[in-house]
Amino acid sequence: MTITLKFGDKVTVADVRKLHDMEDVVFDREWFERVDERNGDMYYMFRDLAKSEADLEIIKSHHLRYDITRIPPGMLGLEFIKTVGHYHPQVPGTDVFYPEIYQVLEGSATYLLQKVEHGEEDIVLDVAVIKAEKGDLVLVPPGYGHVTINASEKTLEMANWVCRDFSSVYEPVKRYSGAAYFLLKDGFGKNPLYRDIPPIRYSKPLSFDKLGLVSGGNMYDLVHKAEKLRFLTAPQDFMGFLAGVL
């Protein structure tokens, strides 16, 4: 069945993550091995949305992308349903990684953000978890890998603004079979493949009033003030601000 989203006057067909796409990052391997049908839908990604052609032109000219992701409730065996998880690359010519901003549109989300020093053996420097409800904003600072978990009984729908000029980096998450923690029925459990994982730092969603990113507002409306989102495409010019968001 094709899953669609009507946004503005345009209908967009979802890119679908299937269970087999989760193979490398699932905690409950025994459960995964027992599932016969691995073609089942996990979550739906509606990418590069705009309410009109004029909006799309603005979005593209600012090198931005607006996506909506829909994650139904569910379990991957013992673990709550989640995204595969990824990092972003560096802005060319700088040592700064691209950030991203999310807003919860429906339901509730648990964002797991992790900063890792990559090497022969990765060292986890920081793990932050932010629980976000409808309207809340979560900014993923440069250098943080991120996984979104739906640990609720309702469908989670979230939006993101992100720079459109790069592809996400999946290998470092898959190499360790997931992020540093898995969210299981009885709470967060450490991923034994990482060494010396720090305790989780619980953080809260924020509002970034000066940028027009206000909790409870509609983040899409920034399409009309797209210059406010320049911290996503040129984060190297906003390091002071980005250092304090988590």
Ligand X SMILES: O=P(O)(O)OC[C@H]1O[C@](O)(CO)[C@@H](O)[C@@H]1O
Residues that bind ligand X (CB under 6 A): 17, 45, 47, 67, 69, 83-86, 100, 160, 162, 168
Minimum CB distance to ligand X smaller for 86 or for 228: 86
Shortest Cβ 214–ligand X spacing (Å): 21
Minimum CB distance to ligand X smaller for 14 or for 124: 14
* First-to-final CA distance of the chain: 39
Q: Which pair of tokens denotes residue 57?
A: 């032109």
Shortest Cβ 53–ligand X spacing (Å): 21
Q: What are phi and psi of 200, to 5 degrees?
A: -70, 135
Minimum CB distance to ligand X smaller for 81 or for 240: 81
Residues with Cβ within 8 Å of residue 53, at least 6 apart in sequence: none
Shortest Cβ 78–ligand X spacing (Å): 20
Burial of 120 (0-12, 13-18, 19+ CB in 10 A): exposed
Shortest Cβ 85–ligand X spacing (Å): 5
Residues with Cβ within 8 Å of residue 34, at least 6 apart in sequence: none
Minimum CB distance to ligand X smaller for 165 or for 209: 165
